[in-house]
Amino acid sequence: MSIPRRILFWFAFSAFALAVLCTGYHHIFGTGYFRPMLVTEKKIFDLGAVSADTLTEVEFFVTNVGVRHLRIENIRSGCTGCVEILSFPREPIRRGESVPVRVALNTESLTGHIRKSFLIISNDPLRRVYPMQIDAVVPAIDGRKFLAE
């Protein structure tokens, strides 16, 4: 007695599907290995001493080390007047591609040790919100008190 091929196919397919679901191979469906992956060369930019009342520009590169196209959907700052988003790519970033992103620290009305953060929001399913930080020291001028941390 021979088993029809159709039954063997469905048995093999069901066993494979059950193994995938039970063993956690979720990357097969796009949230693991087959996903876009955002990486930067560093997450904290220490600018050192920065002049007061200036706009200090920071440029860094975002790299897609994943398989699918990476899209930067938005870049948000906690302090909209302190960290200005100058430019970021609107088109998808292909696998292995690096693109420049430009932000600026506005030191108007800031003195002392400054720590400002901003978030890169992308389609990376495991790191959808990617935090970045800018540190600087702004000397006090004209008798201003320390307004920042």
From the list 77, 38, 37, 36, the residue with the least C-alpha distance to 58 is: 77
> 12: part of which helix (H) or strand (E)?
helix 5-23
Model confidence pLDDT, tens digit, residues 1-51: 567 888 888 888 888 877 766 655 555 555 556 789 999 999 999 999 998
pLDDT at res. 126:
87
Radius of gyration of the chain (CA): 24
Contact (Cβ atoms closer than 8 angstroms) between residue 95 and residue 74: no
Pick the CATH number of 38-138 from 2.60.40.10, 2.60.40.420, 2.40.37.10, 2.30.42.10: 2.60.40.10
Instruction: List the single range of 1-10, 108-117, 119-128 with lowest mean pLDDT.
Output: 1-10
7 by Cβ neighbours in 10 Å (0-12 / 13-18 / 19+) ranks as exposed
